[in-house]
Amino acid sequence: MSGQAPVFKTPKDLPREDWFTEGHRLCAGCGAGIIVRLAMKVIRGPTVVVNPTGCVEVSTTCYPYTAWKVPYVHVAFENGAAVASGIVEAINILHKKRGKKLHDVIVFAGDGGTFDIGLQALSGALERGHNLLYICYDNEAYMNTGIQRSGATPFGAATTTSPAGRVIPGKQQRKKDLIGIAAAHKIPYAATASISHPIDFVNKVRKALETEGPKVIHALSPCVPGWGYRPSETVRIARLAVETRYFPVYEVDHGRVKINIRVDKPKPLEEFLKTQRRFAHLLKPENAHVLEELKRNIEENWERLVKLEESGVTL
């Protein structure tokens, strides 16, 4: 079963040392920067970070500088989980030979390198059972290369490759269910998280690290240029995503679903959508049908999670 991780109750409980430091080039208000900093706050000891190409990589390792105070490996867009798998097994062999303390291996990858380009490598790592933690910072498009739609882009959102026009009002496909895909591999732990609820997030990171086997955390990462909002609004928008049920916060612990942030009385979805340029067209009368379909998708997903939790069915 899952390891008994320390419970961080308030921000004051977090370690003071930062293993991900200031001086990087991520955008002001970048959700990914907050995700990485929080996760690195609660590592439990020697740690190797694997980081496929993406916003975090290009902005934190500008030669000759680095924002990382742990061993760090930049890899290609598509092979983060594969490289991490190899590192895990190499470390295991060294530990057996030398009897040294465990090293944890954490992957930080964007949605492009997770939902799409890196999905095959991730699936392989989960199926083989490597003891690693994979954290996806999901800004819901290929932000580093020009805001193109990805498998994580939600239905109706405007991107440079799914523009909102008179014929097609934004992306026409639903967002992939990353945690559902991960859980289907029968891994011990998978969860979603939001920077609006940092204590929930850091406890999940530590719980995952204390759990043997492959683990996946899917963290929503608001993006200032890609979503179209002011940098000061990042955490508020992340909170609205949770409060409107747009982004449910839950975990799948050994197949059992648990909703961590209950939203019994959700705020209107429009409160979340109106904060961002990418959804502005959905608030126009001619696109009311698109907005209604997005709402149905969100409510169907929430009701599905509630039923899974209440039934106690193992995924």
Q: First vs last Cα of the chain: how many Å apart? A: 15
Could you give phi then psi for residue 193, rounded to 5 degrees?
-155, 160
| Spatial CA neighbour of 238 closest among 197, 282, 296, 280 | 197
Whether residue 94 is predicted with pLDDT greater than 60 in this model: the reply is yes
Question: Do residues 255 and 186 touch, judged by C-beta distance below 8 A?
Answer: yes
Whether residue 7 is predicted with pLDDT greater than 90 in this model: the reply is no
Q: Tell me which CATH code domain 11-311 carries.
A: 3.40.50.970
Q: What is the mean pLDDT of residues 233-249?
A: 98
Q: What is the mean pLDDT of residues 143-160?
A: 97
Q: What is the mean pLDDT of residues 1-5?
A: 46
Beta bridge pairs of residue 138 = 220
Whether residue 100 is predicted with pLDDT greater than 60 in this model: the reply is yes
Going by pLDDT thresholds of 50, 70 and 90, the confidence category of residue 6 is low
Question: What would the DSSP string read from start to end of 157-205?
Answer: ---SSS-B-SS-BS--SPPP-HHHHHHTTT-SEEEEEETTSHHHHHHHH
- Cα distance between residue 151 and residue 174, in whole Å: 8
Q: What is the mean pLDDT of residues 93-117?
A: 91
Q: pLDDT at position 1, please?
A: 34
**pLDDT per residue as tens digits for the range 289-308:** 999 999 999 999 999 999 99
**pLDDT per residue as tens digits for the range 220-235:** 999 999 999 999 999 9
